[in-house]
A and B are shown apart, each in its own frame.
Chain A
Amino acid sequence: MKLDLSGLQSFPSIPGGAVDDLGVDLFAAPSFQLPACSDFDGFQKDAIQMVKPAKGTTTLAFIFKEGVIVAADSRASMGGYISSQSVKKIIEINPYMLGTMAGGAADCQFWHRNLGIKCRLHELANKRRISVTGASKLLANILYSYRGMGLSVGTMIAGWDEKGPGLYYVDSEGGRLKGTRFSVGSGSPYAYGVLDSGYRFDMTVEEAAELARRSIYHATFRDGASGGVASVYHVGPDGWKKLSGDDVGELHYKYYPVAPTPVEQEMTDAPAA
C-alpha cells in the first residue's frame, strides 16, 4: 500500500525550473523509511501513546501592559518516578524570544534550537528581526509536516517585536493559536484557575510575576507531575530577563506559614513528693 506523502511537502518549494539547488536544503521535507508493519495507523497511535504521559508539566505565559510573562516548573517525571527536579523548561530562542517546553524534552529542545537558527538566518538575510508571528508560523509548519510521526511538543512562543508583545501556542498536532493567556501541561487546569482569577491587563511587572509564581505553585501543589523550581521570565521591549527561580516547597511555607499551635496545657513538674 503506497501512502500519498505529497501533503508533507513543506513550503517554499516552487514547481518548475530545470535547476538543482547546490548545498543543503534546510527546508527539505522530512523523509525516512516508513516501518514495514501491517497496521500502520495502530503503530502511529502506539507511538503517540508512548510519549503522551510526558506532558507532565506546568507552563504558562500571558501578555499584559508591560510585555509578556513566561513561567514554568522544572520537574521531569517518567510515570511515577521523578527523574529530575531541575529541568530548564523555558528555552531561550534568541535574546528577545522565549519558548516553553511541554511534552518530549528532546523534541522541544531540538526544534526550538532549530527555530533559533532559522530566526537568525532570517535576520541576516533580511536585515531585520523576524516577527513572533513569523517565528511561530515557521515552527508550526515544521511540526505540521511531522504530524502523526510521534513528535510531542506543546509550546508557547513569546516575544517582543515591532508590533509589540506577541504570544502564540504551537503544538505537535500542527495547531497554532494567537492569544493573551495560555497554560500548557498536566498542571495547566490548576494554573488557569489562579491565573484567570487574578489576571488584569494593568499590572506592574512585579505584580504579574507574583501572579505567575503563585499559579505555578498552585499547579505543583495539586499535580504530581509538576514540581521543582518555579521560574519566571519577563519579555520587554529590550528582550527577556529572568526574574526569579523559587523552589515550590519554600513557596508553600511562604504562602502558608506554619502557625504555632496554641498550647492548651503545659506540662509542669510534679511537686516533689
Chain B
Amino acid sequence: MARYDRAITVFSPDGHLFQVEYALEAVRKGNAAVGVRGTDTVVLGVEKKSTPKLQDSRSVRKIVSLDTHIALACAGLKADARVLINRARIECQSHRLTVEDPVTVEYITRYIAGLQQKYTQSGGVRPFGLSTLIVGFDPYTGVPALYQTDPSGTFSAWKANATGRNSNSMREFLEKNYKETTGQETVKLAIRTLLEVVESGGKNIEIAVLSKEHGLRQLDEAEIDAIVAEIEAEKAAAEASKKAPSKDT
C-alpha cells in the first residue's frame, strides 16, 4: 500500500488515489465550517480557534468574498486556500470582462472544483488540502445557492452542509433540524449547528451573512453573543417544558 501513495498520478490496485484521501484527512483536521441556505439569505459559519493574545484577529479572515454576490468558507490548509481564492477571484472578474455578466454560483464552483481536480491528475504537484463551502445568489433570478467542493474535485449543491472537524455530527444535527428558513432564523440554525461541536461564545464562532440587498456582512462578537444567548434561552425553555408534563404523572 505504501508504494502507491508517493506520486499523485498512481492508482492503487484497489482503485484508490491515496494522495486525495490523505488530503481529505487534512480537511478533517481543519476547523469546523457550516453553510446553511435559506429562502432569502445564506449563512456561513466557521469555528474560530482561540487567537493568541498578540495576534491581530482582523488579519485572520476565514470567510471571504469572491465577488459582490459570492462568499466562500473553507476547512483545511489555509495556505492552499489563499491560492485557490485568488484564482477564483481572478476568474470572477475575467468572466465579467468576457461576457459582461457576473458569474453564477454554479459556474465559479465548477471552476474551483475543476482546479482542484487538475491538481489530482498532474505530475509533480499535490492536491489542494481543503474543502470549500461556496454561497451566493444567482445574478438574474436571485435564487440563493450553497455548494461544496472537496480535494478530489467533485462538487454538489446542498441545502445545508458542514465540513472540517466533527462535520459528521454537524451534518447529523442539520439533517434532523433543517427546515426552510428566512433571515435571522437561518443565522440561528447555523449557529446552533456550530454550537454542537464548538465551545459556546462569540469569540469561538465567526459568522457571515450574505443577503441580496446588503451583500456579505460579518457579524461582530456582540451580535453573535446575543444570538447564542437567545438560543440558550430557547433550549432552556424547551427543557423546562419537557420536564413539566412528567411532573404531573
Give the interface of A toward B (CB within 8 A).
11-12, 14, 16-20, 122, 125-127, 130-131, 133-134, 137-138, 141, 162
Contact = CB atoms under 8 A, between A and B. Distances in A.
Interface of B: 87, 90-91, 94-95, 97-101, 104, 106-107, 110, 118-119, 122, 124-125, 140
A137 B100 CA distance: 8
A11 B94 contact: yes
A262 B101 CA distance: 66
Contacts of A134: 98-101
A132 to B, nearest CB: 10
B125 A18 contact: yes
Secondary structure of the B side of the interface? helix
B99 A14 contact: no
Contact of B107 (A19, A126, A133): A126
Nearest to A17: B118
Nearest to B99: A134
A138 B99 contact: yes
Contacts of B106: 126-127
Contacts of A131: 99-101
Contacts of B91: 12, 14
Given A126-B104, A126-B107, A162-B140, A12 B98 contact: yes
A20 B98 CA distance: 23
Given A14-B90, A137-B99, 18 more contacts: A11-B97, A16-B87, A17-B118, A19-B119, A19-B122, A20-B122, A122-B99, A125-B110, A126-B106, A127-B106, A130-B99, A131-B100, A131-B101, A133-B100, A134-B99, A137-B98, A137-B100, A141-B98
A20 to B, nearest CB: 8
A11 B91 CA distance: 10
3 A-B pairs with least C-beta separation:
A134-B99, A12-B94, A19-B122
Contacts of B107: 126
A16 B86 CA distance: 11
Given A12-B91, A126-B107, A18 B122 contact: yes
Nearest to B140: A162
12 contacts: A14-B87, A14-B91, A19-B119, A122-B99, A126-B106, A133-B99, A133-B100, A133-B101, A134-B98, A134-B99, A134-B100, A141-B98
